[in-house]
Amino acid sequence: MPGRSHERFDQYFRGVRVYGADLSRQIDERGQTVSIFGTLHQNIRIPVTPTLSQAEARRRIEALGGASLGESRQPELLVLALDGGGDALTWHERIF
The three state secondary structure string of the chain is CCCCEEEEEEEEECCEEEEEEEEEEEECCCCCEEEEEEECCCCCCCCCCCCCCHHHHHHHHHHHHCCCCCCCCCCEEEEEECCCCCEEEEEECCCC
pLDDT for position 13: 98
pLDDT of residue 50: 97
pLDDT in tens, the chain (96 residues): 788 999 999 999 999 999 999 999 999 999 999 999 999 999 999 999 999 999 999 999 999 999 989 888 999 999 999 999 999 999 999 887
- Has this prediction a pTM greater than 0.75? yes
